[in-house]
Chain A
Amino acid sequence: MFSFFLTSGLFLGWSLGANDASNVFGTAVASKMVRFRTAAVCCSIFVILGAVMSGAGASHTLGKLGAVNAIAGAFIVAFSAALSVYLMTKARFPVSTSQAIVGAIIGWNLFSGSSVDQAALTKIAMTWLVCPVLSGIIAVVLYQLSALFINTCRIHMFRLDLYTRWSLLVAGICGSYALGANNIANVMGVFLPVSPFETLFIGPFSLSPAQQLFLIGGIAIAVGVFTYSRQVMMTVGEGIVELTPVAASVVVWAHSIVLFLFSSQSLETFLASNGLPSIPLVPVSSSQAVVGAVIGIGLLKKGFWSVKWKIVGGIVSGWVTTPVIAAVVSFISLFFIQNVFQQEVYTSQKTLSPPPALEKKLARAQMPEGLKNNPITKITE
């Protein structure tokens, strides 16, 4: 039974790989600086490494799917998110897996009668607006710094080509590792409590049950990268505005910086301890970061009319419709599976012995500092 429920997680992993690999290697592949095969191999390896080595710490995204308190419900939530991402990928739009899951969770909340924290939801939605803008600004600044450096150092065209390739490859590898580390919880987090795996010893190494699940999820992402990511890569890389390799490299770095800003607990702690306004730890979309950076470069280099706004409009409408589709699919599927297959998709709060307020407070106190203010945490609580 577990294997059957795991399939929706694998489907979500595949969708994530098909869609999000475009964010880290799309511009590199579209500008022909990195071959698709090289990009796919690097992305797959580092996604799996990120998932297995750092996946456990990436619960800031959607490890909170555990709040969906029945395995059949979790299966449907993951399936709805995966289906939404798949449909948008099929339409060649770089959507956000995180958005899809937020939508699917809201669908579950509506179905199960759980309350949705409006303030947290507004905060997430606001961040989805801020993320591409911030990414665009960072890309413009980085691009101008790069131009200054290249013009000052008088780098030969072929050396610049070499450096740019390495820059794209390193940025892509970092991005892939972060993708695996941050998003594996989206894919496999829900199955952790019911994992039947035992700790596996391979020579001096050991794989915990969680790591084994993350490995399977990582492989699903890698399969998605290999089998379906190429089309979306081309949309991101050349659909909006044509990019030079230097600009492509800047886009990937800007995307990585934005993801870091919105996901670094240590940065948040540092800002807070120095009395500075902290950046909310919100699961921002890497797709939005890349699209924002590409538009920023396009506006800087060639002006307003060089950007293919029709395509941008299509992508943005995808961002709006993805969570809505996920929520609707989730709601309908939950209804279907509950009433047709007689599966328990949520555990009624009335039948549970509600945790005392003190226990809730303790549970919250044990959370990592960055998670306490995480809007996703609030939504799923």
Chain B
Amino acid sequence: MKFNIISRETGIEKQINDFMDQVSRSGLVFQKGARCYLTGEYENFDSVLADISVIEHKGDELKRTIIEHLHTKTLIPESRGDVLELLENMDSLLDRFKGALWRFEIERPEINLEFVNDFSELIDGVVASVEAIVKSARAFFADISSVRDHLHKVSFWETECDKISTRLRAALFRKEDLRLSQRMLLSDLARHIEKISDRAEDVADRMNIYVIKRTL
């Protein structure tokens, strides 16, 4: 009996770690895919698209299993609501990465070379912000006292992404030989990518409250 309970507990710890792995991996795959697109490696881009779909599917499965576990085994009753919300929010980040990558595929935007660097920087910043929130979430489960060591990095990267996005969008609208439709499309794409870091910051704000509630 006792050992069953322990193995069940360690099982859910592993599932949560695996779920966080999927969120982190989705960021890295997005980074890789977006770079492939920016550098014109379209064949690799297709395989990356397939990868992120698999990751998203795995993430959803893990999330469902964890949620079922939390409810059926009545685990962490006082924090269950917060943990479920956190999982949903983390999953939404994963979905956004997938959505952004598919946007490249569907819209096939033409990106002038002079904007490639800014897009790359924006993508790196967004991935860094999500990586920081993943570390915070892992710490929330395993070592709550160190959550704040990672949370402040989320805000840092969100601010950076905001600056890059503003700079990029301003440059897009100031460039004379671009069609309005192209300006609008690229600006919207930049905004879409930047919003991922905004969302990461929202999750960080919520997590800050979870930490206050759980601090002994």
Q: Is B76 an interface residue (CB 8 A)?
A: yes
Residue of B12, B78, B83, B142 ringed by the most chain A CB atoms within 10 A: B78
Q: Is A289 an interface residue (CB 8 A)?
A: no
Given known A-B contacts A146-B216, A162-B6, A154 and B78 have beta carbons under 8 A apart: no
Q: Is A364 an interface residue (CB 8 A)?
A: no
User: B interface, how many residues as a size bin?
Assistant: 20 to 34
Count of A residues near B, CB < 8 Å? 19
CB distance from B134 to the nearest CB of A (A): 16
Contact, CB under 8 Å: B216 / A159: no
B83 and chain A: residue at smallest CB distance: A157
Interface secondary structure of A, over-half rule: helix
A156 and chain B: residue at smallest CB distance: B142
Q: Is A32 an interface residue (CB 8 A)?
A: yes
Contact with B along A211-228 (1 / 0, CB 8 A): 000000000000000000
Q: Is A320 an interface residue (CB 8 A)?
A: no
Contact, CB under 8 Å: B216 / A157: no
Contact, CB under 8 Å: A156 / B75: no
Contact, CB under 8 Å: A154 / B6: no
Residues of A within 8 A of B182 (CB): none
Contact, CB under 8 Å: B13 / A31: no
Contact, CB under 8 Å: B145 / A162: no
Report the separation of the CA atoms of residues A244 and B13 in the bound assembly, to the nearest whole angstrom: 21
CB distance from A244 to the nearest CB of B (A): 5
Would you list which residues of chain B between 125 and 148 have a CB under 8 Å from chain A?
140-145
Contact, CB under 8 Å: A154 / B145: yes
Report the separation of the CA atoms of residues A245 and B144 in the bound assembly, to the nearest whole angstrom: 16
B16 and chain A: residue at smallest CB distance: A158
Q: Is B106 an interface residue (CB 8 A)?
A: no
Q: Is A151 an interface residue (CB 8 A)?
A: yes
Residues of A within 8 A of B79 (CB): 157
How many A-B residue contacts, CB cutoff 8 Å?
Answer: 48
Contact, CB under 8 Å: B77 / A245: yes
Q: Is A161 an interface residue (CB 8 A)?
A: yes
Report the separation of the CA atoms of residues A151 and B146 in the bound assembly, to the nearest whole angstrom: 10
Q: Is A272 an interface residue (CB 8 A)?
A: no
Q: Is A308 an interface residue (CB 8 A)?
A: no
Contact, CB under 8 Å: A154 / B142: yes
Residues of B within 8 A of A150 (CB): 216
A248 and chain B: residue at smallest CB distance: B78
Contact, CB under 8 Å: B78 / A32: yes
Contact with B along A150-177 (1 / 0, CB 8 A): 1100101111011000000000000000
Report the separation of the CA atoms of residues A159 and B83 in the bound assembly, to the nearest whole angstrom: 15
Residues of B within 8 A of A157 (CB): 76, 79, 83, 140-142, 144, 214
B69 and chain A: residue at smallest CB distance: A158
CB distance from A250 to the nearest CB of B (A): 10
Contact, CB under 8 Å: B216 / A161: no
Give the residue of A32, A146, A158, A244 whose beta carbon is less than 8 angstroms from that of B74.
A32
Give the residue of B78, B141, B145, B216 whose beta carbon is less than 8 angstroms from that of A158.
B141
Q: A31-B78, A156-B13, A157-B83 are in contact. List 8 more A-B contacts (CB 8 A).
A: A32-B74, A32-B77, A157-B79, A157-B144, A158-B141, A159-B9, A161-B76, A244-B214
The 10 closest A-B pairs by CB, nearest first: A147-B216, A32-B77, A154-B143, A161-B76, A157-B141, A158-B9, A162-B9, A156-B142, A158-B13, A244-B78
24 example contacts (A-B, Cβ-Cβ < 8 A) are as follows A31-B78, A32-B74, A33-B77, A35-B74, A146-B216, A150-B216, A151-B216, A154-B143, A156-B13, A156-B141, A156-B142, A157-B76, A157-B83, A157-B141, A157-B214, A158-B12, A158-B13, A158-B76, A159-B9, A159-B13, A161-B9, A162-B6, A244-B216, A246-B216
Chain A interface (Cβ < 8 Å from any Cβ of B): 31-33, 35, 143, 146-147, 150-151, 154, 156-159, 161-162, 244-246
Chain B interface (Cβ < 8 Å from any Cβ of A): 5-6, 9, 12-13, 74-79, 83, 140-145, 214, 216
